[in-house]
Structures are given as structure tokens and as C-alpha cells.
Amino acid sequence: MTTTIQENRVSLSDTDLADRLGFAETMAKAAGAAALDYFTRRDELVIETKRNPQDLVSEADKKVEELIRAEIANRFGADGVLGEEYGLTEGTSGLTWVIDPIDGTSAFLNGMPSWCVSVGAAIDGEPVLGVIVAPCFDECYSARRGGGATLNGKPIRVADQLNLRNGVVGLGSNDRVEPAAAARIVENLFEIGGTFIRNGSGALMLAYVAAGRLVGYAEPSMNAWDCMAGYCLVSEAGGTVLPFPRDGFHAPARVLAATGGSYAELEQISAIAQS
Ligand code: LIP
């Protein structure tokens, strides 16, 4: 299957995507090793506050994104790059890498293992590649459009045998969401006998949906770099996702992913008035 870019700038074949996936796995693992080194000496890191005291960034985030950007520029210089710390660099190939150097920054800086390196790629806003590396667990989740999803090289699939009453849902939220609305999602889930986790990394929780550990994931307002890789993983693992806005590189949007059998109910439970 050949993925033809809009305006026929470039046609990316499955082989092109497979090449990029192999590169992304190697690169994300190297970035993960660099991040893990920072993690072991996090007390030395210079930490800055972004929007509020819960929204932090450290030199680890910036240095790891710089490492990823340099690797991409060296190998696929015509591709675009969108990263959490340095924004959007337009490309000419039609493929844009969408990266979060350390997703779960709060967990990372507080010494908890639930963080990851998230490397996605999109063509015309559609996720086509996803690699999520969780160094503290020695796990590499990987997928490309049409190629299935794997965890450490072994095929993975969403948990079709679970539902919202016997499975666990991942939830995310932050200051962009009205507190009462976020609480209502939890209330709605508890009312049907469900339960949830929030580990601070939306990307890692999306990878858990793809691996069949979580039955679904919902977050009312999430950035493209947090979800693009996870969306590719969930779709290739047989799950259903709420398409991210085609112009979503510039603003956060609602994120929803689940098994096919639980998607509609989780959509209903987590639907809130968008501020
Ligand atoms: C995090 C997301 C998570 C969200 C957090 C934060 P970061 O990304 O993965 O889903 O709830 O507020 O945005 O900031 O750790 O890269």
C-alpha cells in the first residue's frame, strides 16, 4: 500500500514507513537511555515551571528532544517535527514527527517510573507511526499503519474480553479542564462499577490500552505530542480512537481510545462540555 501525500509532494510506501519505524525504535531507545540517565540524577536537574506548579519542564526534557531532533534531521531531513519543548518545524516530505521527549514529566521529576519517550509520526494529521519506550520497565511499544502493533517485538492486541465494569480505565486531566467536569467523569465511571488509574503519562496509558492492560483511556484536553504515537498503537492493536483534529498540531483536543466494544460507552461517560 502506498500512502500518497496530499498534493502528491511525496508518496511514502510501506517500505518507507517500515524504514522510519526501524529508525524510530532505535532512536527512541537511545533517547530513553539518555532520559534514564537524567532520571538517576534528577536531583541535579534545573527545573522550570510552565503554566502552573504542576506543569514542569527540566533540562532532561529539552536535551532529550534535542537529541531526537538531531537524529531525525540527520536521517530524514525533509520531514517535519513537532515537539513539546521546541514546537513545530515544518518539513517538505508530508510526514511530521510528533514527539514528547519525556511524557509523564511530573512522575519523572518525582522519582516515579511511569514516564516514557513518545515518538509518533503523522501524514496529513493521521497517525502512521508510533513508538513508546518506557525505560524503567524495559518496554518498547511499536506500530506503523497497516503493520500491527508490538511490545518488545511480540504482537499485542487490545483487551476485547474486558469492559468498563471488569477492566481498568486510564484517565488524564489537568488545569485545562474544569475540575467539576473532570470529577464527573470519575463519578460516571464509579456509578457503573468501573475503576480507573492516572499515572501521569497519557502516552504510556495509551500504550497500555494497545497492550490490553487498560480497557480504554480518556482525557478531555491533550496535546498532539502526548497522543499521536499512542493513537497509532491502539489503532494497530485493534482498538478504536477519537480522530485527533487534522489541524491539531496547534491546540490540545479531546482524546479517547478503547476496545471496540467499550468505546461508545466510554465516549458517553467522558463527554463533558468543552471549555
Ligand atoms: C502529560 C500527559 C498527561 C496529562 C498531563 C501532562 P507531560 O504530559 O501525558 O496525559 O494529563 O497533564 O500533560 O507534560 O508529562 O509531557
State the distance from the centre of ligand 1 to the C-alpha of 103, rounded, in angstroms.
6
Strands 116-123 and 126-134: antiparallel
The interaxial angle of helices 59-75 and 14-40, nearest 10 deg, is 150
- Sorted by sequence, the CB contacts under 8 Å of residue 99 that are 6+ apart come out as 65, 68, 69, 81, 82, 83, 84, 118, 119, 120, 225
The residue whose CA is least distant from atom 10 of ligand 1 is: 202
171 and 209 Cβ atoms separated by less than 8 Å: no
Three-state SS at 82? strand
Q: By C-alpha distance, which of 253, 13, 18 is closest to 148?
A: 18
State the distance from the centre of ligand 1 to the C-alpha of 106, rounded, in angstroms.
8
Within a 13 Å sphere around the CA of 189, how many CA atoms are in the beta-carbon half?
27
Highest mean pLDDT among 10-19, 39-48, 208-217: 208-217
Dist CA 161 CA 13 (whole Å): 34
CA distances from 184 to 134, 202, 206, 216 (A): 30, 19, 21, 17
Question: 172 CB less than 6 Å from ligand 1?
Answer: yes
**Is the model's pLDDT at 274 over the cut of 60?**
no
Dist CA 260 CA 264 (whole Å): 8
pLDDT score for 2 = 55
**Is the model's pLDDT at 150 over the cut of 80?**
yes
Which of 118, 196, 222 has most ligand 1 atoms within 8 Å of CB, for mutation? 222
Quick one: which atom of ligand 1 is closest to the CA of 106?
Answer: 15
Dist CA 30 CA 40 (whole Å): 16
**Is the model's pLDDT at 8 over the cut of 50?**
no
Three-state SS at 199? coil
pLDDT average, residue stretch 198-217:
98
Question: 226 CB less than 6 Å from ligand 1?
Answer: yes
pLDDT score for 248 = 72
Which position has the grid cell 510506501? 13
pLDDT score for 5 = 44
The pLDDT tens digits of the residues spanning 69-78 come to: 999 999 999 9
Dist CA 91 CA 231 (whole Å): 22
Q: What is the pTM of this model?
A: 0.95
Dist CA 176 CA 54 (whole Å): 12
**Is the model's pLDDT at 144 over the cut of 90?**
yes
Question: 100 CB less than 6 Å from ligand 1?
Answer: yes
The pLDDT tens digits of the residues spanning 248-258 come to: 788 999 999 99
Within a 13 Å sphere around the CA of 185, how many CA atoms are in the beta-carbon half?
25
Q: Which residue has the higher pLDDT, 47 or 158?
A: 158
Which of 177, 226, 270 has most ligand 1 atoms within 8 Å of CB, for mutation? 226
Question: How many residues are recorded in the chain?
Answer: 275
Dist CA 38 CA 158 (whole Å): 32
